[in-house]
Amino acid sequence: MTVMVSPSALYYQRVEQGEVATDVHQLEALAALDQLWHRLSAEVDNDADAALGVYLWGSVGRGKTMLMDLFFEALPEGMGRRQHFHHFMRALHRELNTTFGVANPLQGIAARMAREVKVICFDEFFVSDIADAMLLGNLIQALFQEGCYLVATSNIPIFGLFQTQIQKDRFAPAIAVLESRLLSFHFAGDKDHRFRLPVNQPIFFTSEADFDDSVHALFDDQATLQGALTVNHRALPFIKVSESVLWCEFDDLCVSPRSAHDYIHLAQCYQCIIVSNIPELSSTPYEHIKARGTEDGALGSGQTGERQVSLGIHDDAVRRFISLVDECYDQRISMLFLADVALAELYTNGILLFEFQRTFSRISEMQTSGYIKKQQQH
């Protein structure tokens, strides 16, 4: 017989092992996750007014994802699904592209998901595209109607999920549903728990000599020098590649038009990705016309035309760099970087400062023994 262990029991195990330092905001959210876990584990669902999930939000490194992962680990096997939000939306668009002519396809997708799992866990919940916002709002309402529960992490409160002011009112009904049916917990404070672990080995270099020493140790005699891979039908030049390690220039990985799908593919193929010749990425935003849907992930949205956005000269590359680091972090991939400036000086001005805080924190965590341990468990 399988012994059920609650999220709080798993949490305090990690406290005793020195992996987690208790935090009042974490404990408040943990109590709500425990309550939801008990309801799901006992299959008690007779309170129509009870919350349908938990929403954990706050700045990077506050322990939101850690708590959600403990909750997911404690669930009975097969009861839940845990996905990075970007991956979920990618799969949703792909499934919608197979349902042309089907009446109310989102209701059918929600019914299928409800048959498969009882609770869905989203990491990095955020909506930036109105097409995604409308899809997501309708799907979440359908999932709640089907009896599913939701646990999500985000850097922003529910009311700020869709930050684009244009057409924001169209997402308002979904915001209202989320605010009324989820228990929301703000992880306040200025302590980044991911910075408390000791540094294992530097991964971000400004000295080419130190970088070369670290890179040399990663490649065996079978490595291939200078060539190109084919990634999603497009060439990706590389400096060096082996069975498990890929070394590319920043321009080839992030300045050239790559998509998040490319980074997903690379993180699935390699255990370590090296990025060299990263320039200082700060820049002053300017008004820029962009074709609607370009690299927005708006598959199946049917949107056309142009829109005006504010961008710095490096911001498209920064957005791709953020996506690359997010994917490698989520898949527990190792990374090495060679840049013209220190990490703290890499991006200090531009429209993506909010998003880049997460990138800074994740690159910093990749240097810790805790991240190495997560890699071994992945």
CATH of the domain at 117: 3.40.50.300
Residues 74 and 185 in one domain: yes
> What is the rounded distance in angstroms from the CA atom of residue 249 to the CA atom of residue 279?
11
Give pLDDT tens digits for 233-245: 899 999 999 888 9
Residue 208 has pLDDT above 90, yes or no: yes
- Which amino acid is it at 243? E
**Can you give the pLDDT at residue 141?**
93
Q: Is residue 276 part of a domain?
A: yes
Give pLDDT tens digits for 264-313: 989 988 889 999 999 999 987 665 555 444 444 444 444 444 545 556 68
Residue in the block written with tokens 């997501």: 136
Kindly report which listed range (54-58, 110-114, 248-252, 367-371) carries the lowest average pLDDT score.
367-371
Look up residue 9 and give its two tokens. Answer: 């029991």
Q: Where are the alpha helices (DSSP H) in the chain?
A: 7-16, 24-41, 64-74, 85-96, 105-116, 130-145, 172-181, 208-216, 250, 260-269, 315-330, 353-365, 369-377
> What is the rounded distance in angstroms from the CA atom of residue 180 to the CA atom of residue 49?
10
Q: Is residue 2 part of a domain?
A: no
Residues 52 and 165 in one domain: yes
Kindly report which listed range (68-72, 99-103, 168-172, 359-363) carries the lowest average pLDDT score.
168-172
Percentage of the chain lying above the pLDDT 70 cut: 83
For 370: left if phi > 0, alpha if psi spans -120 to 50, otherwise beta; the answer is: alpha
Among 14-23, 213-222, 225-234, top mean pLDDT goes to: 225-234
The 10 Å Cβ neighbour count of residue 358 is 18
Residues 184 and 201 in one domain: no
Residues 87 and 118 in one domain: yes
> What is the rounded distance in angstroms from the CA atom of residue 73 to the CA atom of residue 114?
19
Residues 111 and 160 in one domain: yes
Strands 204-205 and 183-187: unpaired
Q: Which of 169, 193, 217 corresponds to the end of one domain?
A: 193
What value does the mean pLDDT take over residues 180-197? Answer: 74
Residues 188 and 201 in one domain: no
Q: What is the CA radius of gyration of the chain?
A: 22
**Can you give the pLDDT at residue 286?**
60
Residues sharing a CB contact under 8 Å with residue 72, sequence separation 6 or more, in sequence order? 80, 82, 121, 151
For 26: left if phi > 0, alpha if psi spans -120 to 50, otherwise beta; the answer is: alpha
Residues 100 and 211 in one domain: no
> What is the rounded distance in angstroms from the CA atom of residue 259 to the CA atom of residue 320?
7
Residue 97 has pLDDT above 60, yes or no: yes
Q: How far is CA 323 from CA 6, 8, 40, 212, in A?
A: 33, 32, 34, 25
With the CA atoms of 325, 327, 328 and 330 taken in that order, what torsion angle do they form, in degrees rounded to the nearest 10? Answer: 120
Q: Is residue 213 part of a domain?
A: yes
Q: Is residue 182 part of a domain?
A: yes
Residues 181 and 232 in one domain: no
Q: Residue 228: which domain range?
A: 197-377
Q: Which of 171, 193, 215 corresponds to the end of one domain?
A: 193
For 276: left if phi > 0, alpha if psi spans -120 to 50, otherwise beta; the answer is: beta
Residues 148 and 249 in one domain: no
* Strands laid side by side in the 334-339 sheet: 204-205, 334-339, 272-278, 245-249, 234-241, 224-231
Residues 97 and 178 in one domain: yes
Residue 314 has pLDDT above 80, yes or no: yes
Residues 60 and 186 in one domain: yes
Q: How many domains does the chain have?
A: 2
Q: Which of 193, 228, 260 corresponds to the end of one domain?
A: 193
Residues 270 and 168 in one domain: no
What value does the mean pLDDT take over residues 352-358? Answer: 90
